[in-house]
Amino acid sequence: MVTGVPEIAEAAHIYPFSMGKLKESEPANSIWNILRQFWSNERVNSWNKAVFPTGTEVVQNLMCLSPDAHTYHRRGFFALEPRKISDNKERLKVKFFWLRRYKYSKGEKVDILSRPSLPGNLDPGPGGPGLLNVQTRREICSGDEIWLETEDPESLPLPDWRLLEMQWFLNRVVAMSGAAEPRDDCDEDGDGFTGNEEVLESEDEWSTYTPYSPSSLPSPP
């Protein structure tokens, strides 16, 4: 969905398979209890309902990514912001952002009130990660918009908005904490966040992302 390479695309979980059994009954340090310390019960409940009881092995919890995009995404090198979804659930727009990387340090703390830096023109630079749109032969940059479409939202649903939103928030936390690579061994299938990050923004910062009606959707580029 990012690079446009269908032949070698991998099915990437949005909510990790390895975390599919972390329900509300888990100990106090489970991801769901941690999330409730930073976001409202209403928001966290919506994320939880997007996972349970259906589980992780459903179409709406999967994205098709090229192997390199899959690796970059699970390590927190970029994030996808859900922007608009049509009322008929046939079209969804996400926005691509490279994330500023922070070096992991065991003894170093990050202020919990720090806001993730999200420059609209961030360029990883020479030697850094890079992705190419094979249809246009153009380098993928921060701010690029990606349209996802389906002709059958019942049998072939688009990625779940709630799960995309959850990973959009937490991938930025992964990048800020610098903990993505040291904690890779905790993620069996290599997808997404680990659920044990320490730096989160306040609930108020996430109140503006709302689905729009089809009439507000421009034509795909």
pLDDT at 53: 86
Termini Cα distance of the chain = 14
113 lies in some domain: no
pLDDT at 190 over 80: no
Instruction: Give me the number of domains the chain comprises.
Output: 1
Kind plus residue range of the DSSP H or E element containing 33: helix 31-35
Query: Helix axis angle, 41-51 relative to 161-177, nearest 10°?
Result: 110
Cβ within 8 Å of residue 6, ≥6 positions away: 64
Task: With 0.75 as the threshold, say if the pTM is over it.
Answer: no
The string of pLDDT tens digits covering residues 104-156 is 566 666 666 666 566 666 777 677 789 999 989 999 999 999 999 999 999 99
205 within a domain of the structure (yes/no): no
155, part of any domain: yes
Per-residue confidence at 186, pLDDT binned at 50, 70, 90? very low
Range of the domain at 51: 1-18+28-101+128-193
10 is a domain residue: yes
CA dihedral of 44, 184, 173, 43, whole degrees rounded to 10: -10
